[in-house]
């Protein structure tokens, strides 16, 4: 059975009939040393934890049971807005430094269980500070969770604070100012949330200042948004990002593909899926990117909110739907370590251990 045509929102049906994953391939995936470059901290909280935090923070929360949350998750449409409207209901339960600590620490435990050895975690300061949480409590909670996660689980991570693009430019400047004393704790700046009517160009000056301050920069160009291709051009030309989050619509423009390759831009795609859809989105587009030679990586985005879950399940789904080989998976991970914001020697160290793993398991 072939997957549908190159409609980027196509979902592959009867996934299991396409490229069944052997026990050996499953175990190869599970133990493969991985890097993840596109995951939102607030999207890693499982429904049971969402309820626990809501109760601990004495919130009058609309969901009372895991089943109610699951029903809401299953009722979403594929639109970005439908996803985000519910996503922010989950984000709202994180209220204290202890919550940020716990969510970060627990996510790093999950990374270890998925053989993710390095992760770059995004978070949304504006949402939290506008709920009345101080930047200090938020960043210290995350940073302490990060340090303890490294000590206890051996998972290293760096942080990317994201501008919620639908908010005002003034609000983004305020976030930059609040972040300044903690500049050493934050590696990158990103751009996420509602893309419609909020092009990257809205933030050209903010990004210029961020680069001056030494942040690495990326931005979401979500799949099939209005002007997706134009937004990708704006990211590389105006914001001067060295990564694009998603960016799948780039394949519609051969000149853009050539430019992304020329500038060695890393694209962090997310072959996630959600009920009631049976399999990963965007697989055809992602495979085309890979075949065109773009530096593409595979990521989970908001793993607690998708059926694709965390890294192992996401990669198994990608293989089931696209027939990737072990060598392909190693290449995706090589791209991720190389496209990370680690210093060169650390990238090389991770890549060497990846190559060693590959040597023992392929050929
Ligand atoms: N796109 C935009 N904003 C987001 C996303 C995403 O995939 N996840 C969390 N915030
Ligand atoms: Zn994202």
> Residue 4 — very low, low, confident or very high, per pLDDT cuts 50/70/90?
very low
At 278 the pLDDT is: 83
> Residue 6 — very low, low, confident or very high, per pLDDT cuts 50/70/90?
very low
- C-beta atoms surrounding 152 within 10 Å: 12
Residue-averaged pLDDT of the chain? 95
Q: Is the pLDDT of residue 12 over 70?
A: no
Site to probe by mutation for ligand 1, drawn from 39, 80, 124 as the one with most ligand atoms within 8 Å of Cβ, is 80
In the chain, domain spans: 12-361
pLDDT in tens, 235-274: 999 999 999 999 999 999 999 999 999 999 999 999 999 9
Alpha-carbon distances of 224 from 75, 152, 185, rounded to whole Å: 20, 40, 33
Considering only 13-22, 215-224, 260-269, 303-312, which range has the smallest mean pLDDT?
Answer: 13-22
> Residue 10 — very low, low, confident or very high, per pLDDT cuts 50/70/90?
low
At 66 the pLDDT is: 98
Q: Is the pLDDT of residue 9 over 80?
A: no
Q: Is the pLDDT of residue 91 over 50?
A: yes
At 234 the pLDDT is: 99
Q: Is the pLDDT of residue 349 over 60?
A: yes
- Domain 12-361 sits in CATH 3.20.20.140: yes
Q: Which of 291, 273, 293, 292 is nearest to 281 (CA)?
A: 273
Atom number, ligand 1, closest to the C-alpha of residue 87:
9
Longest dimension (CA), the chain: 57
Closest ligand to the CA of 299 = 2
Write out residues with Cβ below 6 Å of ligand 1: 40, 43, 84, 87, 192-193, 220, 222, 301-302
Enter the pTM of the model.
Answer: 0.96
| Ligand 2 midpoint to CA 193 (Å) | 8
pLDDT in tens, 194-222: 999 999 999 999 999 999 999 999 999 99
Indicate which residue's Cα is closest to atom 7 of ligand 1: 301
| Ligand 1 midpoint to CA 84 (Å) | 7
At 275 the pLDDT is: 86
At 2 the pLDDT is: 32
* Strand ranges inside the chain, DSSP E: 34-40, 116-123, 156-164, 188-192, 216-217, 220-221, 243-246, 266-269, 295-298
| Ligand 1 midpoint to CA 345 (Å) | 31
Q: List all residues 6 or more positions away from 303 whose beta carbon is below 8 Å from its beta carbon.
A: 39, 43, 44, 110, 272, 309, 310, 311, 314
**160: three-class secondary structure by DSSP:** strand
Q: Cα angle at 37 between 129 and 11, to 5 degrees?
A: 100
At 363 the pLDDT is: 65
β-strand partners of 295: 266
Helix (H) or strand (E) holding 7: none
Q: List all residues 6 or more positions away from 308 whose beta carbon is below 8 Å from its beta carbon.
A: 271, 272, 273, 274, 280, 300, 314, 317
Q: Is the pLDDT of residue 8 over 90?
A: no
pLDDT in tens, 119-140: 999 999 999 999 999 999 999 9
The pLDDT > 70 percentage for the chain reads 95
At 151 the pLDDT is: 98
At 18 the pLDDT is: 87
């Amino acid at each position: 059975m072939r997957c549908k045509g190159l409609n980027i929102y196509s979902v592959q049906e009867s996934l299991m009939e396409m490229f069944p994953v052997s026990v050996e391939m499953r175990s190869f995936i599970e133990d493969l040393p991985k890097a993840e470059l596109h995951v939102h901290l607030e999207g890693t909280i499982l429904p049971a934890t969402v309820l626990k935090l809501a109760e601990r923070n004495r919130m009058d929360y609309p969901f009372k049971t895991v089943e109610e949350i699951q029903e809401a998750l299953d009722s979403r449409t594929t639109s970005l807005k439908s996803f985000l409207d519910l996503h922010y209901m989950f984000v709202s339960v994180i209220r204290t430094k202890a919550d940020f600590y716990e969510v970060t620490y627990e996510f790093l435990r999950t990374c270890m269980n998925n053989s993710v050895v390095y992760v770059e975690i995004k978070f949304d300061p504006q949402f939290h500070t506008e709920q009345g949480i101080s930047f200090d409590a938020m960043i210290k909670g995350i940073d302490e969770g990060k340090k303890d996660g490294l000590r206890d689980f051996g998972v290293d991570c760096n942080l990317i604070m994201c501008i919620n693009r639908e908010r005002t430019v003034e609000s983004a400047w305020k976030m930059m100012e609040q972040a300044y004393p903690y500049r050493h704790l934050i590696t990158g700046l990103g751009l996420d949330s509602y893309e419609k009517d909020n092009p990257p160009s809205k933030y050209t000056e903010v990004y210029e200042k961020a680069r001056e301050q030494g942040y690495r920069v990326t931005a979401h160009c979500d799949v099939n948004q209005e002007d997706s291709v134009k937004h990708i051009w704006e990211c590389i030309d105006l914001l001067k990002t060295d990564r694009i989050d998603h960016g799948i619509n780039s394949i519609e423009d051969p000149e853009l593909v050539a430019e992304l390759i020329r500038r060695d831009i890393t694209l962090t795609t997310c072959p996630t899926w959600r009920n009631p859809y049976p399999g990963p989105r965007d697989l055809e587009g992602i495979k085309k990117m890979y075949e065109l030679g773009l530096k593409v990586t595979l990521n989970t985005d908001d793993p607690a909110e998708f059926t694709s879950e965390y890294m192992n399940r996401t990669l198994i789904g990608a293989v089931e739907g696209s027939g990737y080989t072990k060598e392909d998976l190693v290449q995706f991970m090589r791209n991720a370590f190389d496209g990370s914001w680690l210093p060169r020697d650390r990238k090389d160290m991770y890549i060497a251990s990846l190559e060693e793993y590959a040597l023992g398991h392929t050929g």
